[in-house]
Amino acid sequence: MDEARFVLKCFLFAALLVMLSQLKTKSGTIETDIQATLVSSQTADLVNRVADGGVKAVKDLGAYLRTKISSSIQGSPSKEEVQEAANVKLEAAVVDTKKAIQKIEASVKTAVSTAHDEIEEVEEIE
């Protein structure tokens, strides 16, 4: 019976949250305001850049593996040359990803600070 009570509480909480998110503001609903803020934030842009860095790293790894497999079949470039080229590309992708992560951290700190300030303003108004 405790499980049913828990499920009911979760349902009621979710329903309340949905109703509150539909409250009207000057520019629309609270939900649309939050969505617009999240989509246009620097954090979203930086997360996209980090994802692009991950994709680049996977592509470089694929190219490295293709080259290594073809060199083992054909005997073309030496293993050291292939490995060095792949390592250079992967290191560049890692550096780009680290820079993007640092920017995300700074952006998140700014966003949290801004949100905290806005919450204080709302509390003062109420």
Whether residue 78 lies inside any domain: the answer is yes
Q: Work out whether the CA dihedral 1, 17, 119, 112 comes out positive or negative.
A: positive
Whether residue 4 lies inside any domain: the answer is no
Whether residue 27 lies inside any domain: the answer is no
pLDDT at 26 over 90: no
Domain enclosing residue 92, as ranges: 36-125
Whether residue 5 lies inside any domain: the answer is no
**Dihedrals phi, psi of 24, to nearest 5 degrees:** -80, 145
List all residues 6 or more positions away from 112 whose beta carbon is below 8 Å from its beta carbon: none
pLDDT tens figures, 76-122: 567 777 788 888 888 888 888 888 888 888 888 888 777 777 777 66
Whether residue 73 lies inside any domain: the answer is yes
pLDDT tens figures, 34-66: 888 888 888 888 888 888 888 888 888 888 888
pLDDT tens figures, 1-13: 789 999 999 999 9
The whole-number pLDDT of residue 76 equals 59
In total, how many domains does the chain have? 1
**Dihedrals phi, psi of 29, to nearest 5 degrees:** -100, 165
First CA to last CA distance, the chain: 39
Which pTM value belongs to this model?
Answer: 0.36
